[in-house]
Every structure is written in structure tokens, then in C-alpha cells.
Structure 1
């Protein structure tokens, strides 16, 4: 502690440089903490389990323009021929493809009158009784759909059963409940026969990312989507065969967007990956600039105090003492900058959370940034401090 007083006196004599460096460290800490908080949040969302067998699923779209085609019959033939391909496990028509940011959503309630019961927004996805297996999902509670559950004409009737995500069940009926309860969408009612713990909706980045309802409903429209489940090692081969096979069966349509599910997920998160790269680039740039600032100030202070250092050496100060002096001086400046930076980081985090859709600033982000800056500042000052320690005592007798 005896070193603190002379350090503060020395900094007062070159206070402009010290103040600028303190501000630079504070600004860097505030910006980097918030940037890394956003990066960690995006990475967490991108790496969450979706529940789907992403490596084995293909999706595609069929647009039928020939009105003479019996779509229901044609789609049945398509699926039968697809299942004959080596590597194909299942194929079916669906209302939308998971993780693609495209599909339908609705409000579910525990009562036909939305004002009387609990309600929650949710995505929905429908297909025939093979829907759960084709997507690689697992029913955690209850049972899967059977062929008898499937509705083929929604204009005449509505599915009377449904499988929901655990998030939907918890929101409507409470933690761990929901099985065999009834959910309502307007006047349509369905009994919850199954619950799936891990499943993402069509919008994995939204506030209904975990809210999804599966319905046993088979439809045949002019704009129809399909999913095909394959063995993982044969998926690429099957993808190349889908379009030629379907067009061979019927020319009055267009086959589009043949895509692997993991590729669809990657496309959904493309903007997040770009943001992460940009933020990391900014973090690295700010780190380099701050390190250069620390290096420059220490080097400048040593140049100004060469004779003073030589005098201390002549009076018996060891090289290690001089070296530690400049390390400690650097830590004083860095600590002050980090103290101001933590306050700035918290204020900036609140501002960003209020203006943009960003998560609250995590204390861990501030802590990791602070530790990184301490390490960086120590590395930046090593060379100038070593240079100061090597100043000869004879310098004290020279005129500057």
C-alpha cells in the first residue's frame, strides 16, 4: 500500500492521459459487457434443443396449378412412391414446416369464452397420425395419434384430440398438468391426449418459441408442404430424387424449396450469426484499441520518468520493485475505469432493453469482461514495465 500514494501523485502530474485512459476503459467495459451479453443470449437460443430430428428431415413445397389433378389422390401416390425410395422412413403432408418462421398461430384457452379462462398464444401444426414420428418427436406424457384420430375434411369436422408442448400445458393448466384436459380455440375444442417436453414452434426466436399444438388433420391444398424422414446418411441422396420423382408422377405442378431441416434452421438464425460476428469484431477492435492505450500511456510515463526511475535504482530499488510499481499503477487506472464502466454497463443495458429486443444484462457478462480486461491490461503493460525495470542507475547522473 506504500506504493499507492506515489502512484497517485505521478498520475496527477499526467492526469490528462490518465483520465482519457480511464474513460476509454470504462467505455470499453460498458460496450463489451452488453455486446457479450447479446452474443451469449443468441448463442444460447441457437444451440437449444428443438426436439426434431434435424439431421434426418427434408421439407418441400408442391404448388399444383393443373385443376384437373385430384390433389388428395395424387399426394397419396406421391407419398407411397417416396416411401419406396431407399432410406425413406416416413413422408406426409403438413400445414407448415417447423423452425422456418412460417405457419399458423392462434390463441388457446381453457374456456370457450376467452375472457373466462386462461389463454396463451401458440403455433399449430397439423398432419396425419404419423406426424410425431416423422418429425422425430417423442411424446413424454400420454399417447401418440392413431389413424382413427385423423380428420380429413376440416370443413365438416374439427380434430377432437391434440398433442401440446409442455410450455402450452403449463401456461394453461399449471406446472406438470394438462394431460386429458380440454383446450379451446374459439368454439373448437380438443382433448389433450399427449404432451411433448422438448419442441420448438415455427418461430424459435419469438416469445412463442416453445408453444406448439399438434393436430391430427390431413389436408390437400394447391399450396401444400411436406416433410420426409430419412436415415441420416441417405438424406442427401433422397433430396436429389424428390423433385424428379414427383414431376414424373405428375407434370401439372411445381416442386419447390427442397431443403434439409437443419438448413432451414440455419437460415432462420442467419441474421443472428451475422450479428454475433459483427459484435465479436467490435469487441476485438475495442480490446485492441484499449490495450494500445494502456501500452502507450505506460510507455509515455516511463519516458517522462526515466531520470526518476534511474534515481530510485541508484538508491537501491530492485528491478522487481520498479516492475511491480508500473503493474500496480496500471491496475489503479484499470480498476478506476472498470468501476465507472460497470455503472455505465448497467445504465446502457437498461437503455438497450427498453429500446431494443435484447435480454437483461447478465452479471456474468460484466464479470467475464472485467476479468478479460484485467488480463489484457496486464499483458499490455508487461513490455513497458520490463523496459522501466531495465533502466540503469547511471541514468540518474545524466542530464535530460
Structure 2
């Protein structure tokens, strides 16, 4: 017999403690289920494939103040020099650094007039024919750039006529799968797609169009330049230590700054997400611990208040298991109502986060798993004081009256 009726009557006589514990359990379920889902979502986000060999790629910036050189020719010299460094696979000058959180983006249309045309938003970058090799991305369809494709821009109207795009952009603008060889427009300029890359993330991983990236074979003369280098596995650190000295030896009227690995740049961009995930883990731990302590404390309080009752039952022949079962059932009743209330609150909280913060919709599996875990924690929290109550001697209980 689970003695449900006597337990209900006992709880009715001490409503305050039971209600506080019920509310505490409900709050724990509502917050922990949503926090756990957000953590899982952030882990998937942080572990997503970018398409780049991040551990082998690094970038740095070049600020040229000398005026006695042709900057475009110097770019070629720098790239050739870096390629000859032991451990380097390729190097390229690019207008933007992928995964850095900084870059350029625009809307691209099928027709020159975007008003009545399908459009897709994408990040884009300029560089020469070494971009794809240096980035380490894989061409799924079509071909890479050749030296003949590269445009050396001297006026704003000089725009390349071909491009290589990510599969994300190709599927976005050409959902029927006919992107290769098709033409889209960058403003009034028609651009032909000659290659499609399997996966190539843009500068902003949190952007809705994070999978959309376009590479243009274009080199411009600039005072501030960005260089990307890909090394053999395990050689990046050694090459990074040499790069400033080598670049200045090639031409000393400039400043080399910000050497940074691609994975480090990605981690820096995601620093706020990592911090939020850690804070949520701490929040979950604290909430579960406080709930367990609350259950433990209420059980101890009830035992101290019912010493005479427990002693009398023991004197009448009640087994220790019956005493333990009594407190487990009592706690389970409170917990079940708290879990039901908390589950409803978790669903509403998840909808609110979806509406106001554009977070993914809460998976109800997390609510169920959280409720089961909280129930297990609550039962474990009761076991120690319940066993202590079961060991009360009938004679000690009688003397305590």
C-alpha cells in the first residue's frame, strides 16, 4: 500500500513547504530544459563544418607606406616568396578573411534589374587564381580559376566575368540545380558561374546566409592588404613565426600585423557564444543543486516534525522499508505536480525565446528528459534522510515526547 490518502492529508497540513518545493521544481524544469536545448544548439553551431582546414590556415595584414613600388606586382612577389617557404602549400592576397566576423556582402540577382528578379544574399571576396587552393576548399562541380580569369582592376568598371560560388549560394539562387554555367548579376554586371564549391562558409557564421560565399578573380591596388597562407599539417606555428621577418625582407616599407590562425579567428568571433554556453552550464548546475538541497531540507524538516509518528509506527511493527517508501511517495507526489507545471512553463518559455530572440524551437524531448532527470535527483535527495528516519528507535521516539 502506498498510503496516498494519509500522505495527502499530511501535505495539506503543511502546505507552505510543499508549495515552495513544487514551485522550485517547476522553475528548475522550465529553465533547465530550455538551457540544455540552447547548449546543445550552441555545441552544434560551434562544431559545424566550415569547409576549411582551419588548423592549417592563418592570415595577417599588410600596411604598405612605401610609394616606390607597384603594389599589384608586390602582391605577386609576396605570394611567390611565401609559397617557397618550407611547409607552405599556397598563399594568396584576399579582400576578406573567412570566419573572421568581418567582410563584405550584397544581394545578387538573376537579372540586371533586381526589382522583378529572384535574388540571394551572399558574402563575397576578391583574390587571384590561388584562392581556392589556399583556402583548401573542394570544388564539387566545374573548374578552378586560371590566371587568364583574373582581372587587375585599374578602374571601378573593370569587373571579372566569371566566379566560383559555394553550393549554399548556388542552391539559394538556382534551386533547380542548374547553377553551373548560369549567369547572375552583380549590380549591372553579368557574372558566369564556372565552379561550385562543396562547402565554403562566409565571414559570419551567425548570418542566415552563412553558407553563401562568392569568390571573384579580381586584384586591386590597396595600401592595406590581407594575406592568407595554408601550410602542411603541423607546420602553421613555425611558418607564422617567420612571416613578419620574411615579408619585411621582401620589402621593408610596410607593417605586418595581426597574424592569426583561422581557428583562432573563429573562436574569437564565437567568444560570446562560448561564454553564454558556460554560463548556462553553471546555471543548470546551480539550479539542480539548489533543488536537491531544497528537497533534502524539506524531508529532514518533515522527519524532525514527525519523530513521534515515525516512532509509533516502528513500535507497531512497521518495517524500515515502509518508512522509506512513505517519504519517497510523498516527495514523488510533490515532484509530479511540479514537473507537470514546469513542463508547461518550459514550452511557453521556449515559444517566448523563439519569438523574441529567434532561437530554435524547443524540442519537447528536452522537456521530457529534464523532467525524468529532476525526478531521479529528487528521489536520490530523499533517500538519505528517509533512511535516517527508518532507523529511529521506538524508545528514543517515545522519550522525545
* TM-score of the pair, normalised by structure 1: 0.95
Residue equivalent to 2:191:
190
**Distance in structure 1 (CA, Å) of the matches to 2:272 and 2:375:** 32
Q: Is the 8 A contact 1:88 1:231 kept in 2?
A: yes
**Distance in structure 2 (CA, Å) of the matches to 1:254 and 1:359:** 44
SS in 2 for 1:191: strand
Q: Is the 8 A contact 2:2 2:325 kept in 1?
A: no
SS in 1 for 2:46: helix
Q: CA RMSD in A?
A: 1.7
Higher mean displacement: 181-190 or 262-271: 181-190
SS in 2 for 1:331: helix
Task: Summarize the Cα distance change of 1:5–1:179 in structure 2 as closer, same or farther, 3 Å threshold.
Answer: farther
Residue equivalent to 1:226:
227
Q: Is the 8 A contact 1:21 1:293 kept in 2?
A: yes
SS in 2 for 1:5: helix
Residue equivalent to 2:374:
373
1:63-100, CA deviations, whole angstroms, 9 ceiling, x for partnerless residues?
A: 11223321112121111211121101101100110000
Higher mean displacement: 44-53 or 71-80: 71-80
Number of residue equivalences? 400
**Distance in structure 2 (CA, Å) of the matches to 1:77 and 1:174:** 41
Residue equivalent to 2:18:
18
1:2-30, CA deviations, whole angstroms, 9 ceiling, x for partnerless residues?
A: 43222211111111000001011111111
Unaligned runs of 5+ in 2: none
**Distance in structure 2 (CA, Å) of the matches to 1:54 and 1:182:** 31
Higher mean displacement: 222-231 or 365-374: 365-374
Q: Is the 8 A contact 1:88 1:238 kept in 2?
A: yes
The answer to whether 1:251 aligns with 2:252 is yes
* TM-score of the pair, normalised by structure 2: 0.95
Question: What's the CA shift for 1:142?
Answer: 2.2
**Distance in structure 2 (CA, Å) of the matches to 1:300 and 1:178:** 71
**Distance in structure 1 (CA, Å) of the matches to 2:294 and 2:284:** 15
Residue equivalent to 2:301:
300
1:268-325, CA deviations, whole angstroms, 9 ceiling, x for partnerless residues?
A: 1111111111111111111111111000011111111222222222333221122122
The answer to whether 1:215 aligns with 2:235 is no
SS in 2 for 1:105: strand
Q: Is the 8 A contact 2:72 2:219 kept in 1?
A: no
**Distance in structure 1 (CA, Å) of the matches to 2:187 and 2:336:** 60
Residue equivalent to 1:135:
135
The answer to whether 1:167 aligns with 2:151 is no
**Distance in structure 1 (CA, Å) of the matches to 2:381 and 2:400:** 30
Q: Is the 8 A contact 1:75 1:220 kept in 2?
A: no
**Distance in structure 1 (CA, Å) of the matches to 2:379 and 2:178:** 55
**Distance in structure 2 (CA, Å) of the matches to 1:218 and 1:157:** 10
Task: Summarize the Cα distance change of 1:327–1:2 in structure 2 as closer, same or farther, 3 Å threshold.
Answer: closer
Question: What's the CA shift for 1:245?
Answer: 1.1
1:145-186, CA deviations, whole angstroms, 9 ceiling, x for partnerless residues?
A: 222222222634322222222221222121544222222221
Unaligned runs of 5+ in 1: none
SS in 2 for 1:233: coil
Question: What's the CA shift for 1:233?
Answer: 1.5
**Distance in structure 1 (CA, Å) of the matches to 2:114 and 2:276:** 39
